[in-house]
Amino acid sequence: MQRDRSMERVENIEKQGAVQVPPPKRSVGPFLIYYKKQLELMKSKGIVDKISTTVKKEIREKWMNLDEDSKLEYKKEACENSEKYANLSHNIPRKARKVSLYTRCAPNHVHLTVSNLNERQRFVLREMGFGSMLDLRSIQLNRDFCKWLVDHLDHNSCALDICGRRLPISTKDVEFILGVKSSGVDVSIVASAEEINHICQQHGVNVVGDIPINLLEGKLKEMKTLGKEFVGCFVLFVLGTLLCPTPKPYIKRSFISILLNIDEFKSLNWAKLVLDFLIRGVRKYKEKNRVGVSGCLLFLMVICRK
């Protein structure tokens, strides 16, 4: 026993004296590599002193206008960095991360963003049928409870099985809880790649791939206008953070096609979109054994207590 304790003390001393090697930095994509190099070039030439929204936009536009051959070198560098990161990080022990459920459903995030809107912007959103989003309180999701609800949601019959009782869910429930319309024309998320790229340019969302939520949030903070660009940006932000969120900090690029019908927003069936998206998210979560779920988990929390 005495020898075992002595060995433990020696091992502890060795661990304390060991040099701690920092983990390698995670590799980034081709656009970020291009972005950093352009920024360094602009600073070295004295073109810019600080990173502003205008500078970021200018670099994004340059990237969008590059041909595939010019982008190839950055893609190769990103690929090489990714391989190096994989090789370096392979043997680094990782701490187990205990997370009940991954979700980007963030009603408190929406509440904070809405609080910065001016009265004229609020009026426009109420006229478009999104007044309930303006009255949303700051609510923190209970992820353990959300996981329990998702596990008890029958995605085939669209009903919650709770304590021996079955609670059917409908679009009317979505309207009652979230305040979005449950009748009218279905929301269309269908458009060609050309149409989607054109809409992105119209609304100043010039990004490659899915749209970062923080980009939409930043645009909303800067906007003081009331036009279609503001309405479109707000709706995409709310979809990505509350109504139709995924486990990732992005909104699917296909959702930009919704802005084709921006003049008809008031007559669209948003509740059906929300419910369908949640049911699909729960189905994928269960059938594909995922750790994250797509959909409005706030709705599940509230309807369970109704």
The string of DSSP codes covering 194-229 is: HHHHHHHHHTT---SSSEEHHHHHHHHHH----SHH
Scan for tokens 């994250």, then name that residue.
Answer: 292
* pLDDT number for residue 99: 56
Residue stretches of the chain with pLDDT short of 50: 1-20
**In this predicted model, what pLDDT tens digit does every residue of 195-243 receive, in sequence order?**
888 888 887 787 778 889 998 988 888 887 778 889 999 999 999 999 9
**Which amino acid does the sequence have at 160?**
L
* pLDDT number for residue 52: 80
**In this predicted model, what pLDDT tens digit does every residue of 69-83 receive, in sequence order?**
888 888 888 888 777
> What are the structure tokens assigned to 208, written together?
């490659």
CA-CA-CA-CA dihedral for 43, 46, 51, 57, to nearest 10: -100
Neighbours of 293 (CB within 10 A): 25
Please enumerate in sequence order all residues whose Cβ is within 8 A of that of 62, keeping only pairs 6 or more positions apart, or say none.
38
Q: What is the pTM of this model?
A: 0.66
* pLDDT number for residue 4: 44
